[in-house]
Structure 1
Amino acid sequence: MPGLIISPRARIFHGHEWVYASEIKKAFGNPQPGDVITLKDFRDRPLGTGIYNPASQIVARRFSRRRQDLDLDFFTRRIQQSLNLRKETEGLDETLARIVWSESDGIPGLIVDRYGDHLCVQTTTLAMDMRKDIIRDALVAILNPKSITLRNDSPSRKAEGMEQYIELIHGENPGAFIVEANGLQYEIDLIDGQKTGLYLDQLQAHAEVAKMAKGLRVLDCFTNQGGFALACAKAGAAKVTAVDISASACASARKNAELNNLDIEVIEANVFDFLKAAKPEYDLIILDPPSFTKNKKTLNDAMRGYKEIHLRALKLLDKGGFLSTFCCSHHASRELFLENLASASVDAKKALRLVAEHSQRPDHPIMVTLPETSYLKGFTSQLIATR
């Protein structure tokens, strides 16, 4: 088997699973893009098996600490293990969940979201993309789904030198269908929809924030399909306003409100502009934007963006009001994001009391030695009298 000799002090010696070009001492056996390769240390001792793509900054990703191949048996075992983990997680419905999440489940570059009888799959590494037929066969054998949609339109594929596309690889196109989460119904379309179904990682946070919404005037910014807005309306909010710049997202939010017989106001607008012009008439404001940064180079610009929406939101809250704010970029650490919120409160001359902390749903497991798997963080704070 071809492979790589890893230089001393590389992150893989500290438990990480990625190998960057700068950490390679030399290659042997002429490995080709997408190959399964062996990894060795500088003393020729085995470090495990990985996948190879010299077109990516992450040249190799380890998926096993022993010799292993990416065959049907491998995928069947790993997918079944990840499914069992979700089944054993208390309070998690494995029929509406991310049942495979890349490195966190030992299959780097494979994401599988389950929506009842339908699966939405992403292959974000070349090795997984080359083995999509084997992956399909394993999923059919384990879950017998009615359809499998390969939703490979993620920009992250460019980093692996791959094209973006959407393809049905099993069954028939289900079209738009209804799923239920937190007692709410949502219409999703895995092929023609704007996103890959729901933001499954935020379903837990929807319920957590909604617990505070009864009797409050709620503003849900970057609402997408109305997740927070609908949860708050169902929980008995006095009034709910949802804002998103996307016309299709707003249409989805209105459709979902209609499905659930809930009354929410949906406004198509740029959230930054909306917050600047809005009147201070809200008791709970939710900020759940898409990632403002995909890399370290733009992190400072992203943090300025977060601070701006924090400042504008805080000015719209009266004493006793709540601000729930979220960041979905692993490049912005929990500490950095909390510091950003604190800095905004100082500039706004507002005192905040932290009342809740939020993270990604358990179907997006976090690996201790892979900080990149811990990406979603959120804080709910309450405005108190200025001291």
Structure 2
Amino acid sequence: MSASEPRGALTGVRVIDLTQVLAGPFCTQLLADHGAEVLKIEPLKGDETRRLGPYRADDELREISGYYQSVNRNKKSIALDLKSPEGRDILFKLVDGADALVENYRAGVMERFGMSYETLSARNPKLVYAAIRGFGDQRSGESPYVHWPAFDIVGQAMGGIMSITGPDAQTPVKVGPGVGDLIPGMLASFGIVMALMEARRSGVGQFVDVSMVDCVLATCERIINQYTYTGRIPRPEGNRHPLLCPYGVVRASDGWLTISAPTDEFWQKLVTLMDQPHHATDPRYAQNNDRLNHQDEVYGLIEAFTQTKTKAELTALFGGVIPFGPIYDVADIFEEPHFKIREMLVDVEQPGSATSVKVAGVPVKMSRTPGRVRHRAPLLGENTREVLELAGYSGAEADNLFNRNIVK
């Protein structure tokens, strides 16, 4: 970092990243975006996502897939054999100088390596240790599924989000993005920052336990209150809201858009814009609950209007007046000025390709300590020598580790 570059809010924080695939890497990338020095410890074969693609057509190197690039920017990579005593010794020495460690192994793996939270915190009492697992860690309450492997879709299924997502009550549908991973990743970064703040006050770190299914459930808070207050089990209801009307998706002549006008004020504005002001006082539609009881009629009269106009025409009519938005695909997003102005599409180098690629930008904007995309995701072991020096290995000692395939 040059003297002229603004410091991120987490500048000076060192994080050991033992995560792979999505939930953990997304968590540590959020920290890296805001200045943390993230040392990504990869197995000698690399993070699994390096091999999952997609790749640029001209990329013959195939070291950094689109998947890997998307959630590992701003990090340093060291390839390390943790099954060897020497590899574990390197990790121990790195932990001694770290503020946080994040892992998403299955329960018991770190214990089998001899690197449990208790062992590592004995070496470094200030260490914040975060674990992201499908069903959490037994330290916070042992789930009957604590040893089950879990991916995004498991978190979505058992956390409740699929039970309310789908075209009809009989058809649960997976949410498009990997929210079963991404939501836990976000909440884990939040937990880590809280624990770091407390450690700076007390001088003592702690264990941060993040369960994928718990995090998904927390974001489905509505189903809890609906069931508790009414006894009703919420089911998928398509693109309409179960409690608000209108609040959903309608068709334009050339695509789809969202309209949200559940308050009486917005409803009156909507029907006025549609040249149907008499519906504002119609007792069938006067208040939200009335509209909810006649929602097929409500959506029918809205679509009778919107289907006669293009998305551009409706944007000009509704935009800034009622809560409204056209449904964008990624090509639309690349053309939308909002995302360019907000720096949400950022160019990074793509090793092996003649041209750069874009990744999603930093969504949390900080006025004094802005986060940013500083550099692309690392090649496997690109920073191994640098990281070995942090652990006290240099020269012939480091060469020996390379020659014996302890590091790469």
Whether the TM-score (by the shorter chain) exceeds 0.5 is no
Q: Which has the higher contact order (CA 8 A, sep 6+)?
A: 2
Larger % of strand: which?
A: 1
The structure whose residues are more often helix, as a share, is 2
Q: Which has the larger radius of gyration?
A: 2
